[in-house]
Structure 1
Amino acid sequence: MDRLEPQLILKTTPPRGQKSARMRSRLAIDTPELTDKVVIAVHAPAGFGKTFLLTQWRRESLSHGAVVAWLTLDAHDDGARFVQGLGAAMAIGSGRPSFARTFEPGPGPGRDEFEGLTQWLAEVADLGSETVLILDEADALPDATIRHSLTYLLHNAPANLRIIMASRSRLNLQVADLAARGRYATVSTAALRFGVEEAVAILTGRFGAKIDADLCVRLYEVTEGWPLGLQLAISAMEKSSSPGAAIVELSKCTGDIQRYFVDSLVAHLPDEQVTFLTGIALLEMVQPSLCIALTGNPRAAEMLRDLCVSTPIFVESVDSDWVRIHPLARDFLLGRFEKLAPEQRQGFHERAALWLQQHEFLEQAARQYHLAGLPRPAYEMIEKCLYDVMLRGRFSRVLEWVEELEPEAVLSHPRICLAAAWALAMGERQAEAARLITAIEQHPSADEATRCEAAAIETAAAYFADRPDESLALITPWVDRLSTFPIKVQAIVANQIARLTLSQGQPEKARRIFQRAPHYTWSPGLDAIRGFGQWVVGLTYLWEGRMLSSQAALRASLVLAEQDIGRRSPIAVMMASALATVMLERGEVQEASTVLANRMDMVERLASPDAIVLGYITASRLASMQGHGHRGQDLLEALFALGEERDIPRFCIASLGEQIRLHALQGRSDTCQALWRRLEAVTPLIAREQTGLLGPELALMAGVAEAYVLLAKREWEAMLVVLDKAGATAEHLRRGREIVQIKLLRALALKATGEEGTPCLLEAVSLAQENDMQRVVQDTHPDLTKWVQTLQRPTLPAVTAESSAPMPVSRPESATSSVSASRLLTPKEREVLQLLARNLSNKQIALALNVGEETVKWHLKNLFGKFQAGTRQHVVARAYMLGILETAG
C-alpha cells in the first residue's frame, strides 16, 4: 500500500477510546430502532457525546466482523478532497490499497468527484462483506459538498454499506425518500441525554458506596442528563472530599462547571452574543420573537439559532421554536445579569412581562411584573392563572405564590383563594386551608358548584390528615347532586369517593368508579385530577397484592406525571412511593431505589398518609438491603416522629410495626416487647374496636406486629390466635400481601406446634407466585425460604453423566489482549497479531501456530501493509489505536 499523506492518516484515525466510559446499551447499533437503517445521522451540540457514541458503534461493528472506516471531516473537504478522504479511510479500514487510489484528478469540471465516488462505491460493493463508514463532524463540510457529494453517497450506497455521520446540527440533505423507505434514522439531543437510570449506574460504578441514590438523582436533575455536565460533575466530585459538597458547588455553578462556561461562552463567543445570552437569562424558556422584544436586537432570532447549534446550553423543543436554557448555564448567566444596573434589569423584566402577557403566558408575566416591582399587574395576571396552575398539579408553585402574596389579597381574590386552599389542603397545612375554605363559602359570588368544590377541598384536607371517616361525612351530602355540577367537580368528587371506597375493602368497585366518572379533559397533558385518579387505580392493585398490574398502571402514569407536572410534584411522588413498593416486592431493588431517590422530602410534605407510609417503609428496607442499616433505622424513627407531630397514629404504628418485624427476625424478644408497649400506647380506640374506615387498617397493622412479638417470644399458640383475627381483617379488607404474609406466619407457627403447616405454606407460596410477590417469603421470615427450598429440592433435575464429564482442555489463550473479528484481517492474521502483542519472536509464533517461520514472515508483511506500519511494535500500536486489538477484561 502506498504511503498516505500524514494529514489523511490523522483524519482517518478514530479518537482514543475512554476505558472508564460506560457503553450505552440503550443506543447500541443493533437496537430495533437502528438495526435495519442504511444511514444513521447523529446531531446534537457540543458536549452530548456524539463522538463517543460513534466509537462505541465502531467497536460494536468490528466485533460483528464488519469492515469499518473512520473519517473526521473539516471545512477543506470539498468534493475532490472528500473522495480522497473516503479512499484513505477505506484503505486503512479494509487493508485494500486500491481504495487509496480511488480519486485521481482528471480534466473536466464538476464531474471528477462523482466519478471518484462511483469508483469508491463500486470498490465497496466488490468487498462483498458488511462495511460501515463513519463520518464525524459532518457539519464542517462545505455546503456544496453536503448537497452534492454526500447526498450522492447516501443515495447510491450498495447493499453492504452502512453510513453513520455525526454533526452539531441537521445537515442540508435531501433524504426524505430514504426516510420514507425506512432507511434513514436520526439520533438527536433528547436520545443522547442520559436517563436517570444511566446516570445512577455511571455514578455508582465510579464512586460505589461513597454516593447514594439520592445524591445520584440530585446530580442527574442538576445536569438534566447532559453528558458533559455529568462528566464535569464527576471531575469535581473526584477532587472533593464530600460528594454532597461537590453537588452543592455544582448547583451554584462554581468550580469546574463555572470555568467551563467562562471558557466556552465568555472567552470564545463574540461580545454581542455574550450580551445577548446575559439579557435573555432572566427567562427559563425563550423563542425568537421574544428574544427580539427582550433585547431590542433585530438579529436576536439569528443569534439564538446559531447559539443552539454552537453551544450545548439550549434544550430545543421537538415541535416548536421554543428553547429552554440549561439550568447550570442559566445560573451562570444570571450571575452576570445581576451585575447589570438596576434600571437595565427592570427594563428587561418589564419588556419580558409585556410580551408574555400579550401572548397569554400569564404566570410567567406575573413573575416578571413581580420582579420589576409592579404589584398591580402581577396580581391581575396571577388572579387569572393560579387556579389553572393548581389544576395542572403544580402545587409547589401555588404554595410559592401563597408565600409571596399578601394574605388579604389571597382572601379577596376567589380564584386565588381556591387554588391556595387546594394546595394547602393536599399536604401538611390543613389548618391554613380551613380558613380559606370558610372564606370561599362565605364569598358573595359563591354558587352551589363552588360550595361543593369547597366541600371537596375540606374532604381532601381530612383525608390528608388521615381522617377518612370525616372525609366521607363531608362529601356524602353532595353525591346525589353531582350530575348538576360541572364535569370538573364531578371528576374531583369521583376520585375522592373511589379512594374512600378502597378503604372499605372494595378495590374493584373503586376502579369502576374512576373508570365510569366523567373525565375532565381541559389540558392535553396529565393534570392533578386525572393524575390523582390514576394513582388510586395503581393503589387498588397494590392493595390487592397484584404486583404486575400495579406496576403497569403506576409506571405509565408516573412517566406522564414526571413529563407533564414534574418529578418532584405531589402526584409524581405519591406514584413513586407506590411504584417503589411494588418494585421492591418484585425484587427490583436498584430500580426501586432510583424511583424513590430525591423525593422523600416531598413525600413528607405533600403526599397522602398512605403514600407517606409506603415511601418511608420502602426507603427504610432499601437502605438496610444496601448496607445502610443505620439510615433505615433513622427513617423509621423519623416516621414515628412525624406521626407524633401531626397526630397521625398510622405513622407511629407503621414505624413500630416495622421495627418489631426486624427485631423479631433477629430473635430479640425483649426489644420486641418494649416496642409493642409503645405501639399499644399509640393505638387508638377505633383500631381496638375496628370501627370506621381507618380502624380495620390500623388493627391489621397492629395485629401483624403483635404476631411478630409472639414469634420472638416463641408463644406459638397465642400467635395462631392473633393471626386468625388478623387474617379475617385482611380478608375483609382484601389486602393481598398481608393475606399471604399471615398465611406464611401461620405455617411457621403450625410447624412449631407439631401440626402440619406445609399446606398453608404451599398455598401462600402459590398466591405469592401468581401475583409476582417475589420478596414476601424472605421478608416474612428467612426460615420460610429454607423450608420452601427443602420442599422443592426433590423436583430438581438429577446431574446427568454428560454434565459431570470433564471439560476438554483447550489451548491457553493470551490473558492480556484480544482481537476483534474484523474483516480487515484473516483468521490467521488475527492469531499472529494476538501473539505479536505478547512480544513473541517469529520462531515462537511459528511454534505456537504449528507453521513455518516463512509463513509467519508472510503474515507479518501483510500486517505491516494493512496497518501502514514499519515495525512490529508499530503494528501492535496501530491495532490498539484502531480498536482491533483490545486489552482483555
Structure 2
Amino acid sequence: MHESELTLKATPPRIPRTAIERARLQAYWNDAHERTALAVVAPAGFGKTTLLLQWRRRWLAHGARVAWLTADDHDDPVRFAEALLQSIREASGRQSSASAQARSTGFDALTELLGDIAQQGVETVLMIDDAERLPKATLRGPVHYLLLNAPANLHLVFGSRLALQLPVAELTAKGNFATLSADALRLRLEESIELLEKRLPQLGVDERAHLHDITEGWPLGLQLAIAAIEHAPDQAAELQVLSARHGTIQEYFVESLLAQLSPALADFLTRIAILDRMSADLCAAVTGDANAAELLDQLAKETPIVMVAEGRDSMRLHALARDFLLARFEHLPKAEQVELHTRAAHWFAGCERFHEAAGHALAAGDRVQAQAFAARSLWTLSTSGNYAEAREWIAHIPAKMMANDLDLRLAVASILALGDRSEYALEIARQAIADPGTPPLSLAVALRVAAGAAAYSDRVGMMRDLTARWPEDVAQAEPLHAVSRLNTGALAALHDGATSEVRERVAQALHHGSDGSLRLAAAFGQMLLGFSHVWDGDVCLAEVVVRPALAKAERERHRRSMVPSLLASVLAAAVFERDQPAAAQALLANRLDVIERSGFPDNVLLAYRTLAYLALSQNDERRALNVLKNLEAVAERRQLPRLQAHALAEQVRIHALHGRHETVAALLQALEGMAAEFDRDDRQPLIAEYRLMLAIARTHAALAKRDLDDADQHLAEADALAARLHRGRAALTVMVLRAVVARQRGSDEAMPLLQEAMGLARIAGCTRLLPDTHPLAVEMASDMTLPPESPPMPPPAKAPAQIVMPVRNGLLTCKEAEILNLLGKGMSNKLIARTLDVSGETVKWHLKNLFLKLSAASRKHAVDRARLLGLVQ
C-alpha cells in the first residue's frame, strides 16, 4: 500500500459544521471510556462518525493519544496491520519498532506494537470507523487479537453499521466491552428542539416538535428536513408541505438508499410500504416472497429506514421512507395494488385484527367488506386507545347496521365518549343501563361508556353510583370491566380528596395486568396515580409513577396519540414544579390539541396551567394571559365550568400582583358568579375545589389592596379546604401566603412559616413554590439566605495543594477518601495511582473496599452513593 493511502486511512475526517455536542452521549463516554473496547453500531445517518470524532477530541483533552483508522473491504490482516501502525505512528509522532515487520507477519507486528504501548504507559485509543467493511479474516484475526491482548492503557473504539462478528461475550460479561446502539443515537425530543432552535429560529416549539415527530429522531433525517426548509421565506408553511416525494429528501432516498439496494430488494420494499407494522409472516403473505424474513433482516441491518421495536409486529418503516416508497407503490399497475391490499386484508382478518383489515379492504375498493371489518374493529380500537383511527371508521358504518346491534352501538359510544359527542355516547349508555333486558356483559360495557363520558364532561358526581351498579359477576370474570370499575371509583375518590383510596384502587387494578385489552385502562390507572401525587403535592412521586408509563406508551404508540399525550400533561406539571421548564415545554410540545380534544378536564387543566406558569417564568405575562384566555375558550366549548373557574382565578392572581384593582374586581365577580354551576348533583363533588380556588383568589385580591384581615379570613378557609381535599400543593401555597401576610404585618411568625413551607416543598420536590405564589415570598427567602453582616475576613494564606475529603463517622479511611475524591473527578486507575504515588494494584484494592462499603456496583455508582451520603462534594 502506498504511504499516501496509509496517511489518508489514518487521517480523521472533519467534524461537520452543524454537529452538536449531545450531553447524553458525552455522559456515556464518561461512564464507559475506561473499558477495553466500545462499539457504536447503527445504520447510516445516525451520526456514528461524528460521535467518534467528538469522543476523540475528549480523549485528546484528557492527554490520551488517539489513532484513527478508516477501514475498507481490502484490509486483509497484513494490510490492516500496516494501516494500524501508520495510525499509531501519526498519533504518537514517533516511529514504532514494529513497523518494519508489518509486511512479513501481522501478528508479530501487533505483538511488538502492544508491547510498545504498554511500555510507554500513555493512555492510547485506537478508533476504527466503517469497521463493518473489514474482511472476516481480519476481524477474527488481528482485531480479535487486539481485543484479547490489549494492555490496560489501550482502548479500542469501533464505528460500524452492523454488529461485528467478534467473540466478545467474556469481555462484555466482565464489563470491558460496551455497545451503543441506534436507539441510543436517536435524537431525543429535547435534542431535536435544541438543534432546530439554532437552525430554524422561525419555528415555534410545537413546530419543532412536529419536525422531530416526522423524522423520528433519525439524525440524518432531521438534517435533510432542515436542508429542505431552512432557506424558505416561510419555514412554518414549508414544514406543512414537507414530503419525501420531492426535493432534498427524495434525492437522498434515490441516491443513498435505492441505488445501494438490489432491484429485488427495492421492489420488496415498495410492496411492503402499504403496511404500518410488519412481521416476516405478513410480508411473505403480501409479497408472496418466501425469503421475506431474510430480506427484512438485511434491511434492518443495512439501512436506517426499518425500525425494530417490541411486540408481535416488531418492524415498521421510517415515516419519511414510507412516504417516499408509497409514491413508488402508486406507480405500480392498479391491479397489482388491489391484489397486494387484498392479501393484506385477508391476512389481518385471519388474525382478527379487523381495523387493519378494514383499511386494506377499503384501499382495495371493497367497501362492503371494509364496513364489516370496521364494525368488528371498534371494540379493539377503543380498548387499545386508538381513538382517532376508530372515529374515522365510525363514519363508514351504516346507520342501519348500528340500529339493530346493541353491542355495536355501545362500541361506537365507547369511542365517542371521549370527544365532542360525549353527550350522545352518554345517552346510548343510559338507554342500555335503564333497560332491564340488557345482558350483564352489555350492562358493564354501558357503565364503562357512561363513566368515560361522565369523566370527560367533568360530571364526577355520577361516579360513585356507576361503580355501585357494576354487575359483580362480570367484574369478577372480565379483567377489563374489573379494572374499569376500579378506575371509575378511583376518579370519584380523587375528587373527594381521598388520594390514598385512589392509590389503593389503582394498585388493585394493576394486578390484572397492562397488556392486550387492558392497555388503555392500565394507562388511565397510572394517570390517576400521577394525579393523586400531584394533588398531594408530591411531584417527585408523580414523576416516578408517570415517567415509565409515558415511556412505555410512546414505545407502543405514536407520540401524538391520546395516551402518551394525556400522560405527558401530568408529567409536564410535575417536572415544571421541579423547575425544569424546558423539559415541561418539550413534553407538551405539539400535543396540546390532542389533550384539548381527548383529555379529561384535569389533563387539560394541568397542561394549560403549566404553559401559563411557564410563560410567567420567562417574564412573558402577555403569553400567560393568552394561555388562560384559551383555557377559558376550551372550557366554554366543552362546557367545563371548573376549568373556566381556574382560568379566572389564575388571572386574578396575575393582575393582583400588579395592583390592577378594577380588573381584579371584575374577574373576581365573574368567578364568584359561577357558584351555581356546582350546585348540580353531577358536579357537587367539585364545589369544595371551587371554593378553594375562590378563597386563594380572594386572598390575592386582598393582598393587592393590603387588606390583611380579609386576607387572613380567606386563608383560614383555604387552609381548611386544602386539608379536606388533600391538596398538598395548595396547602403549601396557603402557608406561603400566610407568611407573606405575616411579613406585611411585621410579625415574627413570617420567617418560621416560610421556612416550614420551603422545607416541606423541598421534600416533595416543589422547587417553584415561592416564585409561583408571590414575589414577596421570593424576596423573603432571599433575605433569609443572606449571610450576617461582618467585617471582611483577610484572604487565607495559600497552602500547598492537597486533597481534602470529609470522612464521615469513620466510614472511610483517609486513603479511601482521597481515591473517592479523584474518582469524582473522572480519573482512571492509572492517573489515581500516579497522583497518589501508589501502585495500580493498591488503587484496585482500595476501590474494592470502597465498593463494599458504599454498596456500589461501579465507579459512577460509588461516587453517586458517596454524594448521597455526604462523603464527596
The alignment's TM-score, normalised by the length of structure 2, stands at: 0.85
Q: How many residues align?
A: 802
User: CA separation in 1, counterparts of 2:426 and 2:683?
Assistant: 26
Matched with 1:586 is 578
Relative to 1, partners in 2 of residues 1:540 and 1:748: Cα closer, same or farther, differing over 3 Å? same
Aligned to 2:25: 27
Tell me the amino acid that sits aligned with residue 39 of structure 2.
A
Cα pair 1:102 1:119 within 8 Å, conserved: no
Counterparts of 1:163 and 1:573 in 2: how far apart (Å)?
A: 42
Which of residues 405, 408, 417 is equivalent to 1:425? 417
**Displacement of 1:255:** 3.1
Matched to 1:136, the amino acid is D
Percent identity of equivalent pairs: 36
Deviation at 1:347, TM superposition (A): 1.1
Matched with 1:571 is 563
Match among 687, 690, 702 for residue 698 of structure 1: 690
Please show how residues 132-281 of structure 1 align to structure 2 within 5 Å.
Answer: 132-207=125-200, 210-251=202-243, 253-267=245-259, 269-281=261-273
CA distance in 2, matches of 1:172, 1:360: 40
User: Letter of the aligned partner of 1:175 in structure 2?
Assistant: V
Highest CA radius of gyration, 1 or 2? 1
The corresponding residue for 1:9 is 7
Would the alpha carbon gap of residues 497 and 301 (structure 1) be closer, same or farther in structure 2, given more than 3 Å must change? closer
Deviates more, 1:318-327 or 1:509-518: 318-327
Question: Cα distance 1:696–1:307, how it changes in 2: closer, same or farther (>3 A)?
Answer: same
Matched, 1:610 2:598: no
Q: CA deviation at 1:361?
A: 4.4
Residue 187 of structure 2 aligns with an amino acid whose one-letter code is: F
- Determine if contact 1:39/1:184 at 8 Å carries over to the other structure: yes
Instruction: Name the CA shift for 1:573/1:794 in 2 (closer, same or farther; >3 Å).
Output: same
1:64 counterpart residue number = 62
Measure the CA separation in 2 of the matches of 1:194 and 1:796.
50
* CA distance, structure 2, for counterparts of residue 482 and residue 285 of structure 1: 34
Give SS of 2:673's match: helix
Report which stretch shifted further, 776-785 or 432-441.
432-441
Question: TM-score under structure 1 normalisation?
Answer: 0.84
Classify the secondary structure of the residue corresponding to 1:661.
Answer: helix
Q: CA distance change for structure 1 residues 129 and 413 in 2, over 3 Å: closer, same or farther?
A: farther
Distance in structure 2 (CA, Å) of the matches to 1:285 and 1:571: 19
Q: Is the 8 A contact 2:499 2:532 kept in 1?
A: yes
* Residue equivalent to 1:761: 754
| Preserved CA contact (<8 Å) 2:553 2:563 | yes
- Which position in structure 2 is the counterpart of 1:402? 394
Q: Residues 82 and 336 (structure 1 numbering): CA distance in 2 closer, same or farther, change over 3 Å?
A: same
Residue 788 in structure 1 maps to residue 781 in structure 2 = yes
Residue of structure 2 aligned with 1:656, choices 648, 671, 683:
648
**Cα deviation 1:688-730 (Å, max 9, x = unaligned):** 9999311111111222222222222333322222222222222
The AA in structure 2 aligned to 1:69 is: A
Query: How much does 1:482 deviate?
Result: 7.2
Structure 2, gaps ≥5 residues long: 802-825, 829-873
SS in 1 for 2:63: coil
Partner of 1:96: 94
Alpha-carbon distance, 1:90 to partner: 0.6
Provide the C-alpha distance between the structure 2 equivalents of 1:229 and 1:740, rounded to a whole number of angstroms: 46
What amino acid is the match of 1:373?
G
Secondary structure of the corresponding residue to residue 76 of structure 1: coil
Q: Contact 2:440–2:471 (CA<8 Å) still a contact in 1?
A: no
- Kindly state the Cα deviation for residue 46 of structure 1 after the two structures are TM-superposed: 1.0
The 3 A distance-change label for structure 1 pair 272 and 313 is same
Whether the 8 Å CA contact 1:278–1:334 is kept in 2: the answer is: yes
Deviations 1:592-633 (A, max 9, x none): 111111110011011111111111111122234345544333
The partner residue of 1:712 within 682, 688, 704 is 704
| Residue equivalent to 1:816 | none
3-state secondary structure, aligned to 1:692: helix
Measured at CA, do residues 334 and 497 of structure 1 come closer, stay the same or move farther in structure 2, by a change above 3 Å?
same
In 1, are the aligned partners of 2:733 and 2:773 still within 8 Å (CA)?
yes
Structure 1, unaligned runs of 5 or more = 107-111, 809-820, 824-889
Aligned pair in 2 of structure 1 residues 6, 29: CA closer, same or farther (>3 Å)? Answer: farther
Shift of the alpha carbon at 1:506?
Answer: 1.4
Q: Judging changes above 3 Å, is the alpha-carbon distance between structure 1 residues 518 and 556 closer, same or farther for their aligned structure 2 residues?
A: closer
Secondary structure at 2:322 match in 1: helix
| Residue 13 of structure 1, CA deviation | 0.3
Change (3 A) 1:767 1:143: closer
Helix, strand or coil at the partner of 2:127 = strand
CA offsets, 1:344-392, max 9 Å, x none?
2101101222333445544323321221122454455445544233222
CA–CA distance in structure 1, aligned partners of residues 798 and 766 of structure 2: 38
Contact 1:437 1:457 in 2 (8 A): yes
Contact 2:193–2:205 (8 Å) recurs in 1: yes
Q: Distance in 2 between matches of 1:245 and 1:796?
A: 59
Aligned to 1:116: 109
Deviation at 1:661, TM superposition (A): 1.0
Contact 1:83 1:102 in 2 (8 A): no
Q: Deviations over 1:399-456 (max 9, x none)?
A: 2322333344345555544443222213332123135425755999952233133123
Q: Deviations over 1:438-492 (max 9, x none)?
A: 5755999952233133123212211211111123333333387776553321221
Superposed CA deviations along residues 187-231 of structure 1, whole A, max 9, x for unmatched, are 2211111111222222234455x4432222211111100010111
Letter in 2 for 1:771: A
Q: Deviations over 1:730-765 (max 9, x none)?
A: 221121121122232233334434555514434433
Q: How much does 1:508 deviate?
A: 1.4
Secondary structure at the aligned position of 1:455 is classed as helix
Deviation at 1:522, TM superposition (A): 6.5
Amino acid aligned to 2:735:
K
Residue number in structure 2 paired with 1:623: 615
Pairing 1:83–2:81 present = yes
Cα distance in 2, alignment partners of residues 88 and 79 from structure 1: 14
Give the structure 2 partner of residue 836 of structure 1.
Answer: none
Q: Give secondary structure in 2 for the equivalent of 1:286.
A: coil
The 5-angstrom pairing of residues 787-806 of structure 1 reads 787-794=780-787, 800-802=793-795
Please list the CA deviations of residues 768-801 of structure 1 after superposition, one character each: whole Å capped at 9, or x if unmatched.
3332322221222111211222233256998542
Whether the 8 Å contact between 1:539 and 1:578 is mirrored in structure 2 is: yes
Distance in 1, Cα, partners of 2:333 & 2:427: 42
8 Å CA contact 1:688–1:699 kept in 2: the answer is no
In structure 2, distance between residues paired with 1:291 and 1:481? 42
2:99, 2:109 within 8 Å by CA — same for their partners in 1?
Answer: no
Distance 1:519 1:645 in 2: 38
Q: Distance in 2 between matches of 1:648 and 1:63?
A: 59
Higher RCO, Cα 8 Å, sep 6+: 1
Displacement of 1:655: 1.1
User: Do the aligned partners of 1:687 and 1:694 also contact (CA within 8 Å) in 2?
Assistant: no
* Superposed CA offset, 1:141-161 (max 9, x none): 223322333223322323322
Q: Is the 8 A contact 2:462 2:682 kept in 1?
A: no
- In structure 2, how many angstroms separate the alpha carbons of the residues matched to 1:66 and 1:52? 19
State how far apart, in whole Å, the 1-side matches of 2:11 and 2:364 are: 55
Contact conserved, 2:97 with 2:113, CA < 8 A, in 1?
yes
* 1:516 matched to 2:514: no
Aligned residue number for residue 42 of structure 1: 40
In 2, Cα distance between equivalents of 1:753 and 1:315: 64
